[in-house]
Amino acid sequence: MKIKTFSMGGIHPEENKLTHEVPTIVAELPKQAIFPLSQHIGAPAKPVVAKGDKVKVGTLIAEAGGFVSAPIFSSVSGTVFKIDTAIDATGYRKPVIIINVEGDEWEESIDRSNKLELVENHPDLTPEEIVNRIKNAGVVGMGGACFPTFIKLTPPPTAKAECVIINAVECEPYITADYRLMMERSDEILVGLELLMMGAKVTKGYIGIETNKPAAIELLTEKCAKKFSGTKYQVEVVPLKQRYPQGGEKQLVDAVIQRQVPAPPAIPVNVGAIVQNVGTAFAVYEAVMKNKPLFERYTTVTGKKLTNPGNFQVRMGTPMKNLIDACGGMPEGDNKLLAGGPMMGKALTSTEVPICKGTNSVTIISDDEARRKEPQPCIRCAKCVGVCPMGLEPYLLAKLSEVKNWERAESEDITSCIECGSCHYTCPAYRPLLDNIRLGKATVMGIIRSRAAKK
Amino acid sequence: MNFILIAVIVLGTIGLIAAIVLFAASKKFAVYEDPRIAQVGELLPGANCGGCGFPGCSGMADALVKGADAGSLDGLMCPVGGAETMGKVADLLGMAIANTEPMVAVVRCNGTCEHRAKIAEYAGLRTCAAMHACGAGETACGFGCLGCGDCVAACQFGAISINPATGIPEVDDEKCTSCGACVKACPRNIIELRKKGPKNRRVFVSCVNKDKGPAAMKACAVSCIGCGKCEKECPFGAITVENNLAYIDHQKCRLCRKCVAVCPKKAIVAVNFPVSKASTTSMSSTTSSSSETSETSERKEEQA
């Protein structure tokens, strides 16, 4: 049987999954936890605590600041030290809540037992109740984009959801947090998937996993068969050929159900699919069944020169420095610190940046690998066109933004770019394609927004 | 003979009819263009820089004539031609213009290599816009100059250039036409159009850092920390401190330089003042910075 994958473009970078077989350990509590108010796409959260307030683990510290927004919960117990600014993953100083950690006292409403709660034991759960609990627990997409999950589950009236696709692809090199989660918490993930299907009112579910994780494919296939056979749900584990950026929503929909999502503003649900990360499924399980808001996540800390790269179950707000120290400290020499993996990750200039809802990995690239090579003239080889998973012409878009021809850039669909970096990776002339395209995309989106505002 | 005569008559008639039709059409569908638009257009510099806010000089000429018909030239100013050109235009249109003062682009960042330590290396596309989108840049200041020269590329008059010693752009007062292209090009809004001042003398806060004091202080040796000393000192109420940043209103400032003397971070800069009077402040700042560099170099030597 031919193994499925998406239809257009893609690359296969060196995997470097250094931490595949390293069991997850619970990270130590930090002395001070930092909670940026903007950890999700949309409006920043609004603080509901003041300096000197006592908080417990799971206390609401900031409420949603709009419709597209998410509340933030404390991951530690202690005293609010101050509400100030600190450098977050954007590289800029942004409003944060800083909490001095004292002990580890949890809110009583949270079920801390390890007992697996099944949906069958809660017949009173309605789809509305599930969506509501997800919303109130501040659950956002855990794959990195951090889009509030409850919005994805309530599609616009023009679209109808037909299936939920669990994104367990983890196509980005180095990162293994999702894989470890699947191996260690598979039962919870499947309950999470069931809740997501209930919330979206569908009965079809898929779990897309790349073939470089055979153990996870085997384990989940077996558990799915046991759990969902004889129920109204049809869940299928779909092995996928290794190809980056398969974890992109649109690529995953294409790979799993062979449907192509049209250009923006269309979203996967326009072709009937709701895509959720495995981490999100787990967070949904904890939020709905254990009443535990989102304040903890699985994160990989990795790098070729780290002495002990590992996977951590970490409280959000923990500075990256603590995790890097737990892995043996920052390697000597020049390093590039990334929040995320080497393809889509964001380079940081400070190790004080906290782990947020979307930090799936802390990657440290060392020495020569961290440096870019000198750009050479474009030789029109069209490799970038061949690898673009969105069917765009990266060399052209980059040039158009360089010469500021925004009208043409818009007509060439620059806004469809998913910023996966495949073009940049493959360019034999080391041209800064994505840098230019990203600038052009931001400018064109600004033009489109201002045009819409005028109307 | 006959053939020739017939041909002449037929063609002559067709020509006559066509001429009448064309004449009638040109009268009927005539578009009146004010001749003054062309005249004003000739007076304008023809640089088409867009500094006036209109698409090129012809757009400006059109707006000027329309403004004159409406009875006012307020808000219309050719920054390149300046008061001279505007005076000529006003004479032509029989209007008076408010005497606008000459302006100049001012770079409000003094985060030179020695004032602002580099904490990272940026290897991406070397434009300010790209670096700004990527993060705070190579230093800890998320507001200051990135030094890639987007403003230099935007200037059509060659008036702005990066000083290789400081890494900060410098504006040539004589060449600057205050068209504002650099103001728009700077992703961090560091460049501002300010009053050129008598003999090019200006006082301004050379910093745009809105961080709180301690963070700003850490990032740069000459950052404004929003302490408010200058605000209290100013006898003309020209200085306001907002979001941890002082700003001098160039319309109210009388160039007394009391603020320059009290600023603990030397973030307020006075330029083009005679050496005799300003020597105390400018000299002390240069000496202190040079002594700092010698200290740091000594320290480096020790470490080596």
Kindly indicate the confidence band of residue B278, based on its pLDDT and cuts at 50, 70 and 90.
Answer: very low
Kindly indicate the confidence band of residue B99, based on its pLDDT and cuts at 50, 70 and 90.
Answer: low
Residue A317: inside a domain: no
Residue A434: inside a domain: yes
Residue A448: inside a domain: yes
- Answer for the pair A237, A215: CB distance below 8 angstroms, yes or no: no
If asked whether residues A127 and A249 sit together in one domain, one would say yes
If asked whether residues B117 and B230 sit together in one domain, one would say yes
If asked whether residues B85 and B108 sit together in one domain, one would say no
Residue A234: inside a domain: yes
Q: What is the model's pLDDT at position B101?
A: 76
Q: What is the model's pLDDT at position B55?
A: 86
Annotated binding site of B for [4Fe-4S] cluster: 49, 52, 57, 78, 141, 145, 148, 151, 155, 176, 179, 182, 186
Query: With a cut of 70, which residues of chain A have pLDDT below it?
Result: 1
Which of the listed residues A271, A290, A309 is the one where a domain comes to its end? A290
Question: What's the CATH number where B121 sits?
Answer: 3.30.70.20
Residue of A207, A342, A344 whose CA lies nearest to A277: A207
Order of all β-strands in the sheet with A163-167? A234-240, A204-210, A163-167, A273-277
CA distances, B113 to each of B140, B145, B225 (Å): 12, 11, 19
Direct distance between the N- and C-terminal alpha carbons of chain A, in angstroms, rounded to an integer:
52
Which tokens belong to A240?
């996928």
If asked whether residues B181 and B55 sit together in one domain, one would say no
Residue A272: inside a domain: yes
Question: What's the CATH number where A224 sits?
Answer: 3.40.50.11540
Percent of chain B with pLDDT over 70: 89
- B294 pLDDT exceeds 60? no
DSSP A271: G
Question: What's the CATH number where B59 sits?
Answer: 1.10.15
Helix, strand, coil fractions of chain B, as percent rounded to 5: 40, 10, 45
Beta strand A335-339 pairing with A346-348: antiparallel
Q: What is the model's pLDDT at position B281?
A: 46
Residue A371: inside a domain: no
If asked whether residues A276 and A409 sit together in one domain, one would say no
Question: Is residue B230 helix, strand or coil?
Answer: helix
**B136 touches A: beta carbon within 8 Å:** yes
Residue B198: inside a domain: yes
- Answer for the pair A403, A434: CB distance below 8 angstroms, yes or no: no
If asked whether residues A282 and A390 sit together in one domain, one would say no
- Among B residues 137-156, those touching chain A with beta carbons less than 8 Å apart: 140, 142
If asked whether residues B135 and B165 sit together in one domain, one would say yes
Q: Which domain holds residue B72?
A: 37-93
Q: Look at the pTM and tell me if it is higher than 0.90.
A: no
If asked whether residues B116 and B239 sit together in one domain, one would say yes
Residue B284: inside a domain: no
- B303 pLDDT exceeds 50? no
If asked whether residues B76 and B223 sit together in one domain, one would say no
In sequence order, the 6+-apart residues with CB closer than 8 A to the CB of A182 are A168, A189, A209, A213, A216, A219, A220, A278
Beta strand B268-271 pairing with B202-205: antiparallel
Residue A437: inside a domain: yes
Residue of B192, B187, B195, B197 whose CA lies nearest to B207: B192
Q: B47 vs A129, which has greater pLDDT?
A: A129
Nearest chain B Cα distance for residue A324, angstroms: 18
CA distance B179 to B46: 13
Please answer yes or no on whether B142 and A93 come within 8 Å at the CB atom. Answer: yes
Count of domains in chain A?
2
If asked whether residues B113 and B242 sit together in one domain, one would say yes
Which tokens belong to B153?
């590329």
If asked whether residues A125 and A259 sit together in one domain, one would say yes
- B156 pLDDT exceeds 90? no
Which of the listed residues A290, A323, A346 is the one where a domain comes to its end? A290
What are B240's strand-pairing partners? B247
Nearest chain B Cα distance for residue A336, angstroms: 9
Q: What is the model's pLDDT at position B45?
A: 87
If asked whether residues B262 and B138 sit together in one domain, one would say yes
Over residues B246-267, the mean pLDDT reads 92
Please answer yes or no on whether B142 and A334 come within 8 Å at the CB atom. Answer: no
Nearest chain B Cα distance for residue A347, angstroms: 8
Kindly indicate the confidence band of residue B292, based on its pLDDT and cuts at 50, 70 and 90.
Answer: very low
Which of the listed residues A290, A313, A335 is the one where a domain comes to its end? A290
Q: What is the model's pLDDT at position B47?
A: 83
Q: What is the model's pLDDT at position B297?
A: 42
Residue of B237, B201, B218 whose CA lies nearest to B104: B201
Q: Which domain holds residue A388?
A: 383-453
Please answer yes or no on whether B125 and A435 come within 8 Å at the CB atom. Answer: yes
If asked whether residues B67 and B108 sit together in one domain, one would say no
Q: What is the model's pLDDT at position A437?
A: 95
Nearest chain A Cα distance for residue B135, angstroms: 4
If asked whether residues B88 and B177 sit together in one domain, one would say no
For chain B, the average pLDDT equals: 84
Count of domains in chain B?
2
If asked whether residues B47 and B181 sit together in one domain, one would say no
CA distance A70 to B16: 80
Residue A63: inside a domain: no
Q: What is the model's pLDDT at position B196?
A: 87
Residue of A167, A134, A184 whose CA lies nearest to A284: A134
Over residues B264-293, the mean pLDDT reads 62
- Buried b / exposed e over A344-370, threshold 16 CB at 10 Å, is bbbbbbbbebbbbbbbbbbbbbbeeeb
Which tokens belong to A14?
């060196």
Residue A364: list chain B partners with CB under 8 A.
none
If asked whether residues B124 and B265 sit together in one domain, one would say yes
Q: What is the model's pLDDT at position A390?
A: 94
CA distance A420 to A169: 15
Percent of chain B with pLDDT over 90: 42
If asked whether residues A270 and A389 sit together in one domain, one would say no
